[in-house]
Chain A
Amino acid sequence: MYCQNCKERPAAVHITKIVNGEKSELKLCQECAAKVQGETFNWEPHFSLNNLLSSLFEEADSTVSFAPRAGKQQERCNTCGLTYNHFRQTGKLGCNDCYQTFKSQLSPVIRRIHGSDDHTGKIPQRSGETLQVKKKIEQLKGTLKELVQQEEFEKAAKARDEIKQLEEKM
Chain B
Amino acid sequence: MAFKEVIKRIRSRWMEGAGAQSDVVISSRVRLARNIQGIPFPHLISKEDADKVIQKMEKAIKAIGEKDLPSLTVTSLSELDALQKQILVEKHLISPLLLEKDQKAAVALTDEEEISVMINEEDHLRIQCILPALQLHEAWQIANQLDDDLEKQLDFGFDDKFGYVTACPTNAGTGMRASVMLHLPGLIMTKRAGRVLPALSKVGLVVRGLYGEGTEALGNLFQISNQITMGRSEEEVISNLAGVTQKIVDHEREARTVLKKELGIHLEDKLWRSYGTLRYARLIKTETALSLLSQVRLGVDMNIIKGLDPRVMTELMVMMQPGCLQYIMGQEMDAGMRDVYRARLLRERLKIDNT
Contact = CB atoms under 8 A, between A and B. Distances in A.
A15 interface: yes
Interface string B292-326: 00000000000000000000000000000111000
B96 interface: yes
B201 A21 contact: yes
Interface string A35-47: 0110111111100
A33 interface: yes
B170 A53 contact: yes
Contact of A127 (B96, B156, B215, B234): B156
A15 B213 contact: yes
A17 B209 contact: yes
B200 interface: yes
Q: Which secondary structure dominates chain B's binding surface?
A: mixed
A158 interface: no
Given A18-B217, A96-B165, A113-B170, A126 B230 contact: no
A33 B218 CA distance: 14
A119 B163 contact: yes
Nearest to A42: B96
A73 to B, nearest CB: 17
Interface in B182-208: 193-194, 197-201, 206-208
Interface stretch (A2-10, A86-94, A137-145, A159-167): A86-94
Contacts of A121: 163, 173-174, 176, 232-234
A40 B86 contact: yes
B277 interface: no
Q: Which secondary structure dominates chain A's binding surface?
A: loop
Interface residues on A, range: 35 or more
Interface string A115-141: 111111111111110110010000000
Interface in A39-64: 39-45, 49, 53
B208 A122 contact: no
Given A17-B209, A21-B207, A119 B198 contact: no
A82 B168 CA distance: 13
Contact of A44 (B95, B181, B194, B214): B95
B200 A21 contact: yes
A91 B162 contact: no
Given A95-B40, A99-B172, A120-B232, A39 B322 contact: yes
B174 A126 contact: no
B158 interface: yes
Contact of B168 (A37, A80, A91): A91
B159 A100 contact: yes
A29 interface: no
A117 B230 contact: yes
A16 interface: yes
B286 to A, nearest CB: 5
Interface of B: 35, 37-41, 43-44, 86, 89-90, 92, 95-96, 122, 144, 147-148, 151-152, 155-165, 167-170, 172-174, 176, 181, 193-194, 197-201, 206-218, 222-223, 227-234, 286-287, 290, 321-323, 335, 338
6 contacts: A18-B216, A53-B170, A119-B162, A120-B232, A126-B155, A130-B160
Given A41-B211, A96-B35, 18 more contacts: A15-B213, A18-B197, A19-B207, A19-B208, A21-B194, A21-B198, A21-B201, A22-B198, A39-B335, A40-B322, A43-B210, A99-B159, A99-B162, A114-B228, A118-B161, A118-B230, A119-B230, A121-B173
